[in-house]
Amino acid sequence: MKPPPERTTPKKSPRSSRQQRVSSRYMRDRWEDFLSQDRRGMLMIEGVPVDHIINKYGTPIYVYVESEIRERAQRFKKTFGPEIGFQFAVKCNSNLEILRILREEGFELDCSSVGELILGLLADYKPKQLSLTNLYKNEQDLHFAVKIGVQSITADSLEDLEQIAQTAKKLKKHIDVAIRVNPMIEIGQYSTRGNKYGIPIGYIDRAIDLALKSPFVDLHGFHFFGGYVHETRVYKAVARVMVKLIKRCLDRGIRIKTLSLGGGFPAAVGDETAFPIEAMRDFTPWFHRLLERNGIVHPLRLIFEPGKSIVLNAGIGLTKVVSRKRLGLKKRMVVVDSSAYNFVPDALVQEGLHYDVLPASKMNAPRIHSLTIGGNTCDCWEIISRDLHMPKLRAGDLLAIMDVGAYAQVMASNFNTIKRAAIVLIHPDGTTKLIRRRDRYSEMFAPELDVLKLAGPNELERYNNLYRVNVDKYWRGKHGKKKNGKNGNGIR
Ligand SMILES: Cc1ncc(COP(=O)(O)O)c(C=O)c1O
C-alpha cells in the first residue's frame, strides 16, 4: 500500500530571492515550510542561514521552529474539532517556552510528575489545565497534585488508586480520578497485551469498585495510552472497548465524564513514514455515532495527548565537525562536538533509528562517500548515524540532525560530564530567542558538593569555596574572556 503523504497543507514559497530550494536529494516533505538554503550552499531555517545562528549561540544547539509547532497544534484542532481536549505530553519536550506556545494554541498539559506540574504552573497554566498520569506517584507527588487541585489524576493500578484515595482523604479534598485501562487489543502487528500501562480490562471492575468506595475519589474518566500507534484504526478499536466500558458504568448509574485516548500519533524520523493527522478527520463524528449507538447521551469529553507528533519534526540539532578519521580502507568517520548521550539519545535507545543528517554548510557540494557520524563521548558504541551519503567534510563544517524536537533534550544526559546543549526558538520572521542556556558546571557538580559539604564542612572547605565562587566563572577567569564576547565553545 502506498503510504499517505506527510502533509496536506500547501507549501509556503521561499520568502526572499536569497533563498533557494533545498536539493531533493536531502529534502523531505515535512521540512518544506521552514528549510531552504542560500547561494553559498548554507542551510537556512526560516530564512536564516545556520552559520548566523551558530555564530550567535555556538554549537551544539537545538533549533525549534515556532511556526511548525503552532501549525501542527492547529492541524490537530482542525482535524478533531473544537470540542476535543488536547493535552500536550510534557515529557517529550518540557521547555517552558514551548509549553507557553501550546497554551496559546489552546492546549492543556499531560504531566507525568510533580516536576512537570510545576513546569506547567510556571508556563502559566491553571491547575485545572493539568492532568497527572504515570505508573507511579509517591505520596509527596500526590499531596502536591491534590493540594493544587489538578484536573485529574490517573490511577495506573489498584495500589496507585488506593494511594490516591488515601491522600485525598488525608487532605479532605475531593479529586477527579481517571482509571487507566489496558483494553487488551490486537490489530495486525499492534498489541497492548503485556503492556506495562494500565489495568487490564478483565480486572477493571475491581478498580471501579474501589474508586466508588473511596469517599474523596470522584471517578471521572478512563484513560488509555498505547505507545507508538502506526495505524488510525487502533484508536477506533480502543474507543469501541472503552465506550462499552462507559456503557457498563452507565448501567450501574456511574456517569463517566472524560475519555482520554492518549498520544502515540506517529512522527517520522529518517525515511520512516507517518500517517498525517488529517487521516483521522472522520474520527470525531464516528465517535459521536458510537456513543449514540451505545445510548450514551450525557456530555463526555474526549481527550488526546499528543507529544512527538507536535514537536519532533520542528526540532533541528546543529553540531560541528571537529575531526575526521579513516576507520578502514573504505570506512570514514567524522567526529562532532555533540553526542548521542548528550544531544540525541534516541540514537542509543531506538534500534534501527537513522537520523537524516544534512551537511548544513555544504548543501551544494557533491556527495562523494559514505560516512559515519561519531559522537564525542568515550563510549565506543556511541554513534549518531551510519552510512550517510555525504560530501567531503572537515573540521568546522556544520551538520544538521533533523527531527530532534521530541525525546531528545529531555532525555539527554551529562555523560562524560559534558554540558547539555542550549535551545534556540526561531520565530516565523526569522528572529531568534534563546529559550534554554547551556548547562553550567556549578549545576552539574552541586548535587555532590552539597552532600560533601554536609559530610564534612571543615575538611571540604576547598570544595565549598569552589562551589561558592561558581565553577563557571572560575574557569572563565583562568582561561581568559569569552570568545568575541559571545557564548562560544570556550570552557564555560
Ligand atoms: C500518558 C501519555 N500520554 C501521552 C504520551 C505522548 O506520547 P507521544 O509522544 O508518542 O505522542 C505519553 C508518552 O509516553 C504518555 O505516557
Average pLDDT over residues 428-443: 94
Q: Which is the closest atom of ligand 1 to the Cα of 310?
A: 11
pLDDT band at 491 (very low <50, low <70, confident <90, very high): very low
Q: Is the pLDDT of residue 456 over 80?
A: no
- Look at 47-61, 71-85, 417-431, 450-464 and tell me which has the smallest mean pLDDT: 450-464
Give the distance (Å) from ligand 1 centre to CA of residue 236.
Answer: 18
pLDDT band at 395 (very low <50, low <70, confident <90, very high): very high
pLDDT of 3 reads 44
Query: CA 424, CA 98: separation in Å to the nearest integer?
Result: 11
* Tens-place pLDDT, residues 298-344: 999 999 999 999 999 999 999 999 999 998 878 899 999 999 999 99
For residues 301 and 259, is the Cβ–Cβ distance under 8 A? yes
Ligand 1 neighbours, Cβ below 6 Å, are: 89, 91-92, 110, 133, 225, 262-265, 305-309
Q: Which is the closest atom of ligand 1 to the Cα of 407?
A: 9
Q: What percent of the chain has pLDDT over 90?
A: 80
Query: CA 448, CA 469: separation in Å to the nearest integer?
Result: 16
262-to-154, 206, 234, 284, 383 alpha-carbon distances in Å: 12, 23, 12, 15, 32
Average pLDDT over residues 184-200: 93
Better pLDDT: 130 or 451: 130
SS3 string of 289-321? Answer: HHHHHCCCCCCCEEEECCCHHHHHHHEEEEEEE
Q: Is the pLDDT of residue 180 over 60?
A: yes
Locate cell 496559546: which residue?
A: 104
Q: Is the pLDDT of residue 466 over 60?
A: no
pLDDT band at 18 (very low <50, low <70, confident <90, very high): confident
- Look at 84-88, 114-118, 187-191, 399-403 and tell me which has the smallest mean pLDDT: 187-191
Q: Is the pLDDT of residue 483 over 70?
A: no
Q: Is the pLDDT of residue 13 over 60?
A: no
Q: Is the pLDDT of residue 214 over 50?
A: yes
Give the distance (Å) from ligand 1 centre to CA of residue 371.
Answer: 34
Q: Is the pLDDT of residue 250 over 50?
A: yes
Category of 255 on φ-ψ map: left (φ > 0), alpha (ψ -120 to 50) or beta:
beta
Give the distance (Å) from ligand 1 centre to CA of residue 182.
Answer: 15
Q: Is the pLDDT of residue 404 over 50?
A: yes
Q: Is the pLDDT of residue 46 over 50?
A: yes
Q: Is the pLDDT of residue 169 over 80?
A: yes
pLDDT of 136 reads 92
* Tens-place pLDDT, residues 273-291: 999 999 999 999 999 999 9
Q: Which is the closest atom of ligand 1 to the Cα of 227?
A: 10
Q: Is the pLDDT of residue 52 over 50?
A: yes
For residues 337 and 296, is the Cβ–Cβ distance under 8 A? no
Query: CA 347, CA 407: separation in Å to the nearest integer?
Result: 11
pLDDT band at 492 (very low <50, low <70, confident <90, very high): very low
Q: What domains are defined for the chain? A: 52-64+313-436 (2.40.37.10), 126-306 (3.20.20.10), 441-485 (no CATH)
Mutate to test the pocket of ligand 1, among 91, 196, 350 (most ligand atoms within 8 A of CB): 91
Q: What is the mean pLDDT of the chain?
A: 90
Q: Is the pLDDT of residue 181 over 50?
A: yes
Measured over the CA atoms of residue 197, residue 260, residue 30 and residue 402, the dihedral's sign is negative
Average pLDDT over residues 59-75: 98
Q: Which is the closest atom of ligand 1 to the Cα of 308?
A: 9
pLDDT of 329 reads 78
Closest listed residue to residue 38, CA positions, set 347, 430, 312: 430
Burial of 328 (0-12, 13-18, 19+ CB in 10 A): exposed
Q: Is the pLDDT of residue 187 over 70?
A: yes
Q: What percent of the chain has pLDDT over 70?
A: 88
Average pLDDT over residues 18-38: 95
